[in-house]
Structures are given as structure tokens and as C-alpha cells.
Structure 1
Amino acid sequence: MNDIRRSIAPPAGAPSGAPSGAMEDLERPQPAGGGPAAWGSDPIAETLRALELPYIALVPGSSFRGLHDSLVNHLGNRAPQMVLCLHEEHAVAIADGYARVTGRPMAVALHANVGLMHAVMPIYNAWCDRVPMVVLGANGPLDAHKRRPWIDWVHTCRDQAAMVRHCLKWDDQPASVEAAVEAVLRAHQITTTAPHGPTYVCLDVSVQEAPLDGPIRVPPVARFAAAPPPEAPAAVVAAVASALRGARRPVLLFGRGSRDPDDWNRRIALAEATGAAVLTSMHNPAVFPTDHRQHRLPPCGERRSDAERELIAAADLIVSFDWLDLAGYLRSCTGQAQTCAPIGVPVVHCSLDSLLANGWSMDHQALPAVDVPVLAHPDRFTAQLLDALHGHHPDTAWDFAAPHWTAHLPAQPQGDPADRIALGDFAMAVRRFGMERPVTFVRLPLGWPRAASHFTHPLAYLGKDGGAAVGVGPGHAVGAALALRGSGRIAAAVLGDGDLLMGINALWTASHLHLPLLIVVANNTSYFNDELHQETVALARERPVENRWIGQRLADPEVDIAAMARAQGFEAIGPVRRAADLAAALDVAAERVAAGGRVLIDARIEPGYAHAFGQPAP
């Protein structure tokens, strides 16, 4: 470990160690005299404060310069406080990461049409993540006679939200201050109503910058709150509870769920009250303890294991709690053709996701064949079933005395192959790091061995990116670190090198805000997933598989990730090429992050996926 301590490199232009100041002390404006709202953007800013939106992520732009002034000189850059970013993609991804932790929205400001174009991909990703956020766009003057030559014309467009409307819950382009206040209230109400998704309000620059003719007061925002999440009808609850009482091999598929500890505990209680086998998914945040004896298999990933197929085949009742792609999952477990043919056991599916389905995006996945559809919030349905099963003593046929799947994890390291860390050793080092500390894994890379997962807290893991995007991981990490600030948990993101490099300058915002954060790069110096795609095509066409690497490898030269991290204000360790050095680096990084610092570890791993790692017996 001493070698690792000596090798850690401080950020460029700054000493290593604790941060130099608190986030609350950043960018404090000179007093502006206070006073009532006087300009069009002042009541809009007041509305953001009244809604208790704590932060607004942005890259500055002239189209919302009026709002920017109101946030600084009318509100004092507090509540909301600006989260300054280097790219609009990062602004949206940070709000996404924040919502993944808290379940609550941040605000985002995007500059005109060009800023929105930068942000289209992460908005779509946030839509697929089903997270809340209030996005404020802006236009040049809609009155053509008020436009400055050239610049206001190229930054003005009709129906700006049309670029992203298919991945928004709602949008508006208000033409007055009063309408803008109402639009922001409605945007917040809709985004915080389950199922969640981004909303968008486009502000006219002229409305923002016009003096007010008279006072405009923000109404009491409590009267515009979201409705409570819907529950299932009593008859449906009774029917499903009865089916669970009579089932011998019930399976609970816990998919999307909240980070609320009470909801977490109710899921555990429901599993124990029913005697069901439980499965969770790597796609979603942690919703159930992976070390629980009823969590029979590792979290489900992209490919089905034989053990998964056997467990589903043995089930006599399946209850899905907003399981992502239920139809696709069950078909891949049973070998069914891609049809709507139902699986041969009763299926209950609780989800509100159908309310967001539209004809543009296919993120709604395949159509599941279910016997009992439940249009309710899955966490509320869990609570209802738990109440209905009160006093029930389960007697199921599952053998929970059999060794848990974690008993199959390797006891000895695989060893370092060819100046790289073996995937299994990399995963086990990260797993141990998370077991020994209160760590929130913001992300885990695509090739992560599922059996290395250890999630025993609702904030242990925040899931994959819903839109399978590349480049949002760093922004998610910063947003999660912002949400976890002061919680005592270590925000840690394990990112692939391609994902990191596409968005690495998002890390500057973490340094600017003095946010503790650990980034571990699973660096195979390749867009490796696409190497496998090229191998598939080559095999099908009987062409040389050996050429799969061309146009994929991030080499000649290799990217100096550590230097790029230092340029963003991070300390950097690496490249680390041995498993023992990785374990030591993680220990050092934990100390630095616990003290308020930011560290990136460049870990060079072998290319490949460890599909058979820790494979349990059926």
C-alpha cells in the first residue's frame, strides 16, 4: 500500500488532500439589495425556490440570461444553487444521477435550440430511467422585431420542444410571466407524479427580461403537489394474496422500486411472508438484499443462466413488481418464440409503465402476457399485499436451506494475466471494497460479473442507464455524489473506459463543488462490446474473426486517463495492472474520499466478460 500512496498523483494545479472550501460558500454574489420581484424572470426563479428545487444544473447561455440574473441577484444563488457544467449533456445526466438517489427532481437550464440539441441523448436516457427532473429551455425573442441580428435568429425556433417531445412527460412554451409560473408549477407536478419522467418549459427571452407592470406572486405550491401514487383495487389485492397463500413455488420479480428504507423493508417482509423465491435485476437500482436466503440467484443480467431457466420453469406463480421487459425476460427463460404466447403459469404484473408508452420509442419493451394486470405503484402494491397476508405462515416447496449462490464465489484469485487484472479478481476487489464500507455504487460496467454483486442497502447500487447510452456515467456519478453529500456514504462509480472518456469533463463539476467521489475505470482499452458484435457478424459471414478489433481499440496511443482526471481536479492512481495493487489503491482512495477528496483509479482489466463467474448450482 505504501507504493500506492507514493504513486497517487494530485490534481493539476492543486495540492492533494481535503477540499479547500464548502459547497455552500461557492460563488456567493455581492448583495443586490433584495426587494420584490421587478423583472419577468424574478417570479420564475421564486417559483423554483418555492418548489424546493435545491439545485439547477446549467451551462450559461444568453437565452436564459434573465433567469440567470434572477437566480444570482434576486435569490442570491441559493435554493436553487447553480451547478455549473462544461456540457449540456452533463447538466441533464447530473440531474438524472441526483434523482436516482433521492427520487426528487433537480432543475436544469438549457441554452436555446443548440443547448437542447446537446442534451437530447441524456434527456432520452432520463426518460428511460423514469426519473423526475424539471428542464427549463429558452428561446430568442419570439417577436421577430426584437431579435438581435444573426445570433437571436439562429437561436430561435418554432416549437423547440418538438426535438424531445417523444421522451418528455409534458412540455410548454408560455408567453407571459403568469403563464410561465403556472407552467413551472405544472411541470413539477407532472414530473413528480408516478411514473416519473422529464418535463420541459421553454421560456421566451423577452418575457424573462421585461419589467413587471405589477406584483406577481407565486401561489402556495402545496396546492399543486403531485397526487399520492395509486394503489391496487381491494379485490385485486385479495385475489393476489389468495394466490400467494396457495402457491407452492411462488417467485417475486422485484424490478423498479424506490430508495426508501421502509419500502425496502416491506419487500423483505413480503418475501418472508410468502416464502417466495426472489429475483432482482442489474438493470434497476438495489431493491432487495442480495445476501438474503430467498434471493436465490445473482441479480439477472443480459443473458439467462441455466439456474434462472430452471427456477422460472419450477415456479407455479410469478408476481412482477414493475420488472423491466417482463415479456422478454420470461421468453428468454422458457425458449418461447417472439410472440405473445403466455407462459404456462399464472403471472401477476404490477406496473404504471404503460401510462408512458408512445408510438415513437420502443422503451416500453415487448408486450407481456399476464393473468392479473395491476395498474398501481409497485411499492404501494407491496404494502397492500403485506397487510393482506398478515398472520400468514408460508409453507412453500423452495429449499432455502440449500447453499446460497454466494457460496460459489471463488475463494482464491485467478491471477494477473498479461499485465492486466483478471475480470474476476477485479470484481472481487470491488465487491470487498463495498462490503467493508458504506458505498453507493452509482454504476457498474457492462461486463460486470453478476455474482460479484453485494447489495444490502437501498442505496448500495443505482442501476444501469435506462437508455443504454454511452457517456452519461460520469454525469450520473457527479449527480449521485451531489445527492449523497453529507450522508456518510461513499459515492463510487465503476465505469468502462469508453463511457468515461465520452463524458470525463463532467468530473470538473465535482471538483468545482468539492464533492467527494471515487471513479474506478474498468479499462480494457477498447469499445469491447462492439468487438463482440463484429465477431458475431464475422462468424455469420465466415470472415476473419481476428479483425474484430479494427476500429474498436483505444490504443496507439493509449489515452492517459489519469492525466485527464487530474485536469478535472481529481487525484489519480494508475494505470493499476495487478489485483493486489487495485485493492491497495481502493483503500487509499477510500481514505481520500472520506476526507472530502476526489480520486480516479485507472484499472487495466483483461478484455472479455466473466459469464460463468461464481455460477451457482441450479
Structure 2
Amino acid sequence: MRAEDAEGAGRGNAAIEWGSDAMAELLHRMDLRYIALVPGSSYRGLHDSLVNYAGNRDPQLLTCLHEEHAVAIAHGYAKVTGRPMAVAVHSNVGLMHASMAVYNAYCDRVPMLIIGATGPVDAAQRRPWIDWIHTSADQGALIRQYSKWDDQPASVEAALDSLARAYSITRQAPSAPVYVCLDVSLQEQPLRSLPAIPDVGRDRAPWSNGPDALAVAATLRLLGEARLPLFLLGRLGRDEQDWDRRVTLAERYGALVISDLKNGAVFPTGHPLHPVPPGIFLPAAAAELIGAADVILSLGWVDVAGTISAAAADGHPASARIISCTMDSALRNGWSMDSFGREPVDLSVPADPDLLVRALADSDERVKPSEWPARDSAGAPPADGDGAVGAGVSMHDLADALHGALAGSPACLVRVPLGWNGADLEAGHPLDYLGLDGGAGIGSGPGMAVGAALALDGSGRLPVAVLGDGDFLMGGTAIWTAARYRLPLLIVVANNSSFHNDVVHQERMARQRHRPTGNSWIGQAISDPDPDMASFARSLGFHAVGQVNDRSALPSALAAAVAAARSGQCVLVDVRVRPDS
């Protein structure tokens, strides 16, 4: 991001005179680099303070076109950095706009400080009409079931305390969004004296809890007895040293590793101990490994119960002793079923999975080699029809051409669509792939891509998002923010002109009921007219050319797009893919 793109006259010597000035000062001390927002009158006082008191620096305002995009941008940023961004949402209406993205971030366990606002709580201060419909008695209740903490303080001093507390809570594992609602009257209240600004740098406690000695010893004992150990690697961190420790631990025990596409890269996909390409759902070959293993170590795996059940349904019931390390239980409630089924485990370790890996890797326990047969690296990419030029572009064609265009320089695959085959994922670094969005909400991809681009700006690693056409069209105006702040980004739209995942569901339903499958496209097609993705992207400041619909043209089109993005441009490529790919 270019320095001149941060509007504002710079931080001066303005005194803290208003309630919102004190709040802006606290946000500055939190080391929050950005605050994504859609302008709204309910936090006009804070807006003024961020710009005219704080000089639009730390946090810098990022203008967005929809509250859902603002939250998705913070989500993508956190996926890369592990750090919270701030988001400002206008009143109850802005929070309702943002709610789907908040749910995604909650399910994905990322930190985020959401600052809301409301019209005057004191009814005597409300303007006619607008302040009444933009004021709620308990605004945080809108997202309370899928956020970690919320508050609506009643004084400036209490607001400062709530913001400081929220900042601490969202960073503590397991992370999730927090929400503080600021009465517009508090923001605009003149200060008679300077309130105490909380010292947010005082607490030096670790943000994650490690396993206790008994849990480490029990895990070491079970792994030491294993002959066919299997690791399920799920929601884990982006730290390179933790990545190396996972590899070291798997190699020490000769444990086979399963990962999935819902989460980011956690283990080298080409490693011999990672024999099955990752999937969104459990691949048959992975089910076979689960049935054969005698000890399974689950590290942040999403839906252990469902995975074991899926393996059994595939003819491979688990007989292994199962260790599950996760802190997820701290966020479970009776509203959201993202807690999944009761885990069928022999040892539960309520700790940060990366910290358990560190403890295990630091152990000097003697280990016997596993008895898994020798294996090569993960499976080869899928064969693709007859390979005839002009026969249509498959998702594998797209993946293959993209890998070729990106070869030789680091990139970050921010997202992939549902049709992406795990065998086409090449991950050798924790930032090679970021995973999905947690809550499986369509429309999150564009905003998360922008957030990842923000976090990666200046790193030398190019953010690339492969998005379905439905996902892109639902959230597409989010990309304007990338263009506005000159964030290099490549978006590839895998365009099958339909909500094809639902076509498959309708075909299945029709077959079950012995009805025509040929009607499954009705209500699912994105055609007649076909959206002009390139024109849409150009109108939002992206470089884009016409649609690519022939596989022979794909390598050169993607190579040109990558070159343009690496030169600092925002680029979109629309690729017509076969609906069955």
C-alpha cells in the first residue's frame, strides 16, 4: 500500500477533548494498523477522532462498500498474520449486514475487534425517525451466539475498559470476533478531564495455553506404543517453526498425515508421509488409513466425530486409540452446531495444538519406527478427459496452468472453489494456502482475498484467489477496496455459469424420487444474461480482459495476469470451466 493512499494530514498535537478522542488514542496504543469500515453516522464522533485527532494512522481507515466485506477483509488479514484487525459497523443495520461474515470468522476461529455504535440510548436525545430505527436495546444480541464477547458500555471510562478487554479477549486462544457497541452520545461527549487510558501493553501473558505435563506424558506413551500412527492436522498456525516441528514429529514416529482443504496449509503436501491429497470431505483413501491406524493424534481437526463416522460409513471403522488436542470447547454453546458431534476419544488435551507439538518435539523419548508400508508422495493430479484442445476447461486445467504461471516466485493461494481437487494443491510453506472461510458462507471469497492482500502487501508473496462465479458475484464489490489502496492481487474466477454445487444436490434428490434430473438446472443457472465479469472488475479498478474459454489460451492468459499482478496491479481473469469439473 502506497503511503500517499492513507488520507489525512498526519498526527498532530491535538488534545484529547472528546470521548471519541480517548477511544481513538486507545486504539492507537493497541497497535491496530487498520480499521475497515463503511461510513455511518452512529460512529461519526469516532470517525472524526480517528482522522483529525489520530491523523488516520494506526489504525488507518480502509473504506469498504459493504459491512460484510469489511469483516471478510479483517478475516483474510487474520488468516495471514494471526493478528486482529479492527472493523467499524454502523448501528444495528450495519451489524445485520456484517453478520454472515462474523459467523464465518467465528467458525474459523480468527481474532477481530468489531466496533459498533448505536443511536442515543437516551431516548430524549434521539433525532426524529432515523435515530429510533437505528437504536436497539441489546444490539450485541444480534451476534452474541457467534462471537466471543460483547459489551455496550454506558460511560467513556467504561468504553475504554471494554475496548481494552475486548482486544485482550479476541487474541486469547481460541480466538473469535469480539464486539463493543459505543453509544453515539459517549463518542460526542466533551471531556471535563482526561480519562485514564488503559495500559494495553502491560499484560505479557501468553495468548495460548499449552498442555500440562500429564497430558504430554500420556500422549507420548500412546504414540510410543503405536505401530501405525496417524496424524489428523486441522486448524493450526502459520508459524514456520511450528510447521517444521510438525514435519519433525511425523518423521520421528513415521506417522502418516491427513490434512484437508477447509483449513490452511499445515504440512507439505508432497511429503511421503502425506499420502492422500486433502479434500473438503474425507477421501476414500484417507478413510482407509483411519480404519488401519492403531493411534490417531488429532491436532485441531475440524469435526473429529464426523470424520470417524464417515470412515466407518466407507467400510473402515476406527479401532485406534484417539488423542484429540483442541481448545475449541471454550467457545461451544447451544446455538451454533459448529461444535460437531461428541468426539470418540481416549485422551482429550484442552490446549493449543501447536504447543502440544512443541512439547512432543522437545521430548527425548526413544521411538520405534512405524510399521506403515513405504509410500511415495501424495497422489498425482487427476487425469483429465481426452486432453483435446478446445474440449473445454476443467478445474485441473485451470490449476495446472496457474501452477505454471506462478512457478519460480512465492504466492499465497487464498481460496479455492468447491470443485478444486486436493491433488492440485502444492503446499510447502504455511502461507502457500489459507483454507476456506469457516462458516461456508457464499460471498466471503472476494473480501477475504482483499484482506490477505493487505496482510501480504510488501512481502513479495503474491495473493491469488480462485473463486467460484457465485461467490465472486455475491461479494464482488469488495475488490474495489484492493484497487483503492493499490494492493497487488490476482483473482481467478472459475466460472461455470451456475450454482453447480446445488445442481448436484437437485440431481441427487430427483434420482431418489425417480424424477427427471434434467430439470436440476432450474433456479441454479447464472446465465441469460451472462454476467460480464471483466467489465464488472474494470469498473471497480481492476485490470481484466475478456473471458478465457479455451484451454490452449489459458497458460498465456494466466502468465500475463501473474506478471501484471507482480508489477503491482489488481487483476481478474474470468475462466469458463466445465460444470462437471
**Correspondence for 1:326 among 281, 285, 304:** 304
Who is 1:444 aligned against? 416
For 1:382 and 1:413, the matched residues in 2 are separated by 45
* 1:94-243 alignment, distance < 5 Å: 94-224=73-203, 227-243=206-222
SS of the residue aligned with 1:467?
Answer: coil
Contact 1:519–1:600, Cα closer than 8 Å, also in 2: yes
* Pair 186,32 (structure 1): closer, same or farther in 2 beyond 3 Å: closer
SS of the residue aligned with 1:576?
Answer: coil
Contact 1:519–1:601, Cα closer than 8 Å, also in 2: yes
Who is 1:460 aligned against? 432
Contact 2:292–2:318, Cα closer than 8 Å, also in 1: no
**Correspondence for 2:378 among 396, 405, 423:** 405
Moved over 4 A (4+): 407-413
SS of the residue aligned with 1:278?
Answer: strand
SS of the residue aligned with 1:196?
Answer: coil
Who is 1:58 aligned against? 37
1:476 aligns with 2:485: no
For 2:25 and 2:333, the matched residues in 1 are separated by 34
**Correspondence for 1:304 among 283, 294, 318:** 283
Is 218-227 or 178-187 further displaced after alignment? Answer: 218-227
For 1:457 and 1:240, the matched residues in 2 are separated by 27
Contact 2:233–2:258, Cα closer than 8 Å, also in 1: yes
SS of the residue aligned with 1:535?
Answer: helix
Q: What's the CA shift for 1:403? A: 3.1
Q: What's the CA shift for 1:226? A: 5.7
* 1:352-431 alignment, distance < 5 Å: 352-388=327-363, 390=364, 392-400=366-374, 402-407=375-380, 410=383, 414-416=387-389, 418=391, 420-431=392-403
Q: What's the CA shift for 1:253? A: 0.7
The gaps in structure 2 that reach 5 residues or longer are none
Contact 1:573–1:599, Cα closer than 8 Å, also in 2: no
**Correspondence for 1:487 among 459, 480, 485:** 459
Contact 2:99–2:143, Cα closer than 8 Å, also in 1: yes
Who is 2:533 aligned against? 561
Deviation by residue 1:104-160 (Cα, 9 ceiling, x = unmatched): 000000000111110111011110110000000001111111111111111111010
Deviation by residue 1:82-108 (Cα, 9 ceiling, x = unmatched): 010011110000000000000000000
For 2:243 and 2:10, the matched residues in 1 are separated by 45
* 1:522-601 alignment, distance < 5 Å: 522-601=494-573
Who is 1:269 aligned against? 248
Who is 1:9 aligned against? none
Contact 2:11–2:57, Cα closer than 8 Å, also in 1: no
SS of the residue aligned with 2:545?
Answer: strand
For 2:209 and 2:478, the matched residues in 1 are separated by 37
For 1:242 and 1:433, the matched residues in 2 are separated by 47
Q: What's the CA shift for 1:585? A: 1.4
Q: What's the CA shift for 1:573? A: 2.8
For 2:474 and 2:306, the matched residues in 1 are separated by 30
Deviation by residue 1:297-351 (Cα, 9 ceiling, x = unmatched): 101322432x2222112111100001000110111112289xxx99421000000
**Correspondence for 1:259 among 213, 232, 238:** 238
Who is 1:81 aligned against? 60
1:335 aligns with 2:310: no
For 2:540 and 2:257, the matched residues in 1 are separated by 42
Q: What's the CA shift for 1:412? A: 9.7
Contact 2:35–2:88, Cα closer than 8 Å, also in 1: yes
Who is 1:507 aligned against? 479
Deviation by residue 1:223-258 (Cα, 9 ceiling, x = unmatched): 245643111121221121122122111001111110
For 1:502 and 1:407, the matched residues in 2 are separated by 33
Q: What's the CA shift for 1:604? A: 0.4
Paired residue type of 2:369? D
* Pair 328,434 (structure 1): closer, same or farther in 2 beyond 3 Å: farther
Paired residue type of 1:425? D
For 2:256 and 2:451, the matched residues in 1 are separated by 34
Who is 1:44 aligned against? 23
For 1:173 and 1:72, the matched residues in 2 are separated by 24
Contact 1:343–1:369, Cα closer than 8 Å, also in 2: no
For 1:405 and 1:88, the matched residues in 2 are separated by 40
Deviation by residue 1:401-420 (Cα, 9 ceiling, x = unmatched): x33234465599733565x3
Who is 1:347 aligned against? 322
* Pair 181,236 (structure 1): closer, same or farther in 2 beyond 3 Å: same
Contact 1:431–1:453, Cα closer than 8 Å, also in 2: no
Contact 1:189–1:225, Cα closer than 8 Å, also in 2: no
SS of the residue aligned with 1:427?
Answer: helix
Q: What's the CA shift for 1:427? A: 2.3
For 1:534 and 1:387, the matched residues in 2 are separated by 52
For 1:202 and 1:348, the matched residues in 2 are separated by 40
Paired residue type of 1:190? I
Q: What's the CA shift for 1:557? A: 1.0
How much identity, in percent, do the aligned residues show? 50
SS of the residue aligned with 1:312?
Answer: helix
Q: Which has the higher contact order (CA 8 A, sep 6+)?
A: 1
For 2:432 and 2:35, the matched residues in 1 are separated by 26
Paired residue type of 1:363? D
Paired residue type of 2:126? R
SS of the residue aligned with 1:223?
Answer: coil
SS of the residue aligned with 1:575?
Answer: coil
Deviation by residue 1:254-284 (Cα, 9 ceiling, x = unmatched): 1111011111111111111111001111110
* Pair 336,451 (structure 1): closer, same or farther in 2 beyond 3 Å: closer
Contact 2:36–2:88, Cα closer than 8 Å, also in 1: yes
Contact 2:84–2:112, Cα closer than 8 Å, also in 1: yes
CA-atom RMSD, angstroms?
1.8
Contact 1:95–1:108, Cα closer than 8 Å, also in 2: yes
For 1:443 and 1:455, the matched residues in 2 are separated by 13
For 1:219 and 1:342, the matched residues in 2 are separated by 54
For 1:558 and 1:25, the matched residues in 2 are separated by 38
* Pair 432,29 (structure 1): closer, same or farther in 2 beyond 3 Å: same
Contact 2:79–2:110, Cα closer than 8 Å, also in 1: yes
1:316 aligns with 2:294: yes
Contact 2:549–2:575, Cα closer than 8 Å, also in 1: yes
SS of the residue aligned with 1:78?
Answer: coil
Paired residue type of 2:170? T
Contact 1:185–1:224, Cα closer than 8 Å, also in 2: no
Who is 2:3 aligned against? 24
Taking structure 2 as the reference length, the TM-score comes to 0.97
Paired residue type of 2:500? F
For 1:417 and 1:362, the matched residues in 2 are separated by 45
Q: What's the CA shift for 1:431? A: 3.4
Is 406-415 or 188-197 further displaced after alignment? Answer: 406-415
Paired residue type of 1:204? D
The gaps in structure 1 that reach 5 residues or longer are 1-21, 610-618
Q: What's the CA shift for 1:373? A: 0.5
Is 421-430 or 286-295 further displaced after alignment? Answer: 421-430
* 1:275-290 alignment, distance < 5 Å: 275-290=254-269
